[in-house]
Structures are given as C-alpha cells and as structure tokens.
Amino acid sequence: MTQAIYINGQYFSREDAKISVYDHGLLYGDGVFEGMRIYSGKVFALEDHMTRLYESARAIMLDIPIEIDALTTAVNETVAKNGLTEGYIRLVVTRGGNQLGLNPFSCEDPQVIIIADTISLYPEKFYTEGLELITASTIRNHPAALSPRVKSLNYLNNIMAKIEAIRAGCIEAVMLNTKGEVAECTGDNIFIVRGGRLITPPIDAGILEGITRNTVIDLARENGIEVAEEAMTRHDIFVADECFLTGSAAEVIPAVKLDGRVIGDGKPGPMTQKLNAAFRAFVAR
C-alpha cells in the first residue's frame, strides 16, 4: 500500500478505505474531526488536538469508541506507517449508522478514521505576497445554533462563504458574526496589528479556538508583544497596520487587502514576518 488509512483499528489502501453510505457523517454531517500538521515526523500539538476532539464529541453527545491514549497512539502509528516527515493528519469520527433518519441514538457504530497525507492549502506566492480577502455575506453560525467551538463535519456554513470568495477572485473570506463583528475566516483565525498591538477576536465572537491561534498568541507574548482579544469590525481591518491568518493547514499567512482596501502598505508586515519566523522555529523544535 502506498497510503495506509486507519479505520476502526485496521489499515486500508486509499482505494479500499470505505464506510457505509448510511453513515450519519455522510447523510447529515454528524461527526467531529481534527486537522493536524506533521513536522519532522511528529504531530504538532497532538495533545491539544486530541483534547479538542473529545470535547467536540462530548458536546454533540458522540461517544468515541476508543480511549484518548489509544487513539493518540493510533495517530502516531498512522504517521509512521505512511512514512511522513512533513504532512497533514485528518482525524475523523462519524456517528455511524445503518438506516435513514435523524435519530442519533439509533447509531451504534461510530467510525474512527485517520488519514495521513500531504497538504498545500495556499500557493506559496501568497505566503510571500499576502492574500486578498473579501467579506462574505454568509455570516458565521450563531453560537446558539451550532457552536463554532465544536469542530464538526458540518462545514456548509464555511463552504458557502468560501464559494463567495472564489467567485470574487479570492481564495479566502472574512466571516462576520450575528452582531456584524469579525469572527474568523472560512478556515482560519484572523489577527491584525495596530500601533504595535496584536489583536484577534475573542472566543465569544463565535470562533473556533484554534490551536495555531493559541500558539501564535503565546509566541507573541513570549516576544514581548502586547496581545488583546477584542471585538473587531471590518473598519479595524481596513485601518490596521498588518493582518494575517492562522490555522493548522494554513500555518501563518499574511493578508494585504480586504474588500479592495489595502491593509497597511500592502505587503506582509514586520510583526507578521516575526511571528511567522517564531512559529516555524517553534514547530521545528
């Protein structure tokens, strides 16, 4: 096998890795997942990702049929079996199921899937030149409807905003919350720099508490940079000195324009570059 995909304790080739068409994950987006980076053969922030996975599952009353330590071991074994030193892990837990209908309590066979592969979310030029963003008309899910802190398989909210970005000639969009404040992008958290301060929306803005987001906040504070988690509007991005996005797949990527307005001088800024270098040095360790 050129690629070994883990499903419920067994490994399958990519062609033979299958689950039921009746699975609630397929039929209703009913399940949870984590996306994790592999650096130098090791999964970055694995413990944090596993904690978030089990918290997401608990929030939607999904019982993962394997203890967290055993699943952590399975993730590491999958990386080793695929011989990856640099890459990406997609860890998925579906509700399972063998019949139609919404009732999740009729599902007794959750599916645990680990995919180890390579990934390139954005072309390299955007890391050196910066992204252009638009503001999506699709707002972020209301936290009382589906909490953005649950990393669920239901990503249609994000996908609709992503469609808007691509149709506008961009590859990423800013999503606002129900109050009209900046929440996050379709797949990444967002930061701005203004007056030497690093600012990012707070958790209660309706965002996913990103692992890379938290790492960058910690690195910034270690480097003596003031960090604030504050409510943010589009205006704050328009007048910012710098802007960048963070995510497990995206890592740290600059943004230089929003809705036709140039951010700062239209180039990746010094703090963005400093934090990107600090992040890369951190993961290399």
* Gap between the Cα atoms of 83 and 208, Å rounded: 30
Look at the block and give the residue holding tokens 């030497």.
196
CB atoms inside a 10 Å sphere around CB 277: 12
Using DSSP's 3-state secondary structure scheme, residue 177 falls into coil
Q: Which entry of 18, 125, 151, 267 is annotated as an active-site residue?
A: 151
* Gap between the Cα atoms of 277 and 285, Å rounded: 13
* Gap between the Cα atoms of 22 and 174, Å rounded: 34
Largest CA distance in the chain: 57
Q: Which two tokens stand for residue 241?
A: 């000195």
- The number of angstroms, rounded, from the C-alpha of 190 to the middle of its chain's C-alpha atoms is 12
Would residue 162 show up in a list of annotated catalytic residues for this protein? no
Using DSSP's 3-state secondary structure scheme, residue 78 falls into helix
The residues annotated with a catalytic role in the active site are 151
